[in-house]
Amino acid sequence: MNKIYKIEFDNYIYYGSTKQLLCKRQSRHNYNLRNNYKQKLYQIANENNIKKLNCILLEECEEIERYYIENKYIKNNNNKIILNDRLAFASKERKKEINKKYSQSEKGKLSKKKADKKYYEKNKKIYNRDLPKNIYLENLMTPKNPNSNYVLHIRSKKYGNLKKRFKTDEYTLQDVINYKEEYLKKIRSV
């Protein structure tokens, strides 16, 4: 069973949910508090000289209802200052809106630039523009799956077409070009 709980002190309240035993979740909150985590809950608690957080069980529920019920508590609280940084669950539209705001922020733009640069540096052998016109690479590698493959396509009216898959962690662009040369030599000798 999942548990919905609250942490209250002064005029502040935090709602949470957990699959763990409530005492384990409470000890994790207190560990985070002692180690000055940057979450709003711990910052405000430290500012108010709170040394220990107590989790108070509100209700138990099924996994499917967990985030819905937690959101209900967060939204329906009127008299205390809520310390939750975000809702427990967001619809697809809300997630898109949040991602859009983040990507337009300075932090989001900087994060994207870093990720793009890091991805390009790691995979620049694939983006080499010096390939002959009759050869091209189909990149099957993504930032989420960097250990994927790329496919070499050689198009030749005279010698036929070749489609060969290479693992990116085993082959460089030069290996691919050498393979192409050997392949063309072999076909020409036939």
CATH of the domain at 80: 3.40.1440.10
Residue 166 domain-assigned? yes
Backbone angles phi, psi at 80, to 5 degrees: -125, 160
Tally of domains within the chain: 2
What is the residue-wise DSSP string for 143-166? TTBTT-EEEEEE--TTT--EEEEE
Task: Calculate mean pLDDT across residues 147-169.
Answer: 62
Write out pLDDT tens, residues 31-52.
Answer: 999 998 888 999 999 999 999 9
Residue 176 domain-assigned? yes
User: Residue 75: CA atoms inside 13 Å, Cβ hemisphere, count?
Assistant: 10
- Residues 125 and 82 reside in one and the same domain: no
Q: In the listed set 75, 93, 111, which residue is the last one of a domain according to the structure?
A: 93
Contacts of 96 (CB under 8 A, 6+ apart): none
- Residues 139 and 176 reside in one and the same domain: yes
Write out pLDDT tens, residues 38-91.
Answer: 889 999 999 999 999 999 999 998 887 888 888 888 888 778 888 887 777 666
Q: In the listed set 93, 113, 131, which residue is the last one of a domain according to the structure?
A: 93
H or E stretch covering 167: strand 162-167
Range of the domain at 150: 121-189
Q: Which of 13, 80, 187, 148 is nearest to 179 (CA)?
A: 187
Give the rounded distance of the alpha carbon of 163 from its chain centre.
33
- Residues 179 and 130 reside in one and the same domain: yes
The chain-wide mean pLDDT, for the chain, equals 76
Strand ranges, E, within 2-148? 2-9, 12-18, 55-61, 81-82, 135-139
Q: In whole angstroms, what is the distance from residue 65 CA to residue 158 CA?
A: 64
Residue 38 domain-assigned? yes
Residue 112 domain-assigned? no
User: Angle formed by the axes of helices 106-123 and 92-104, to 10°?
Assistant: 90
Residue 8 domain-assigned? yes
Q: How many residues does the chain have?
A: 190
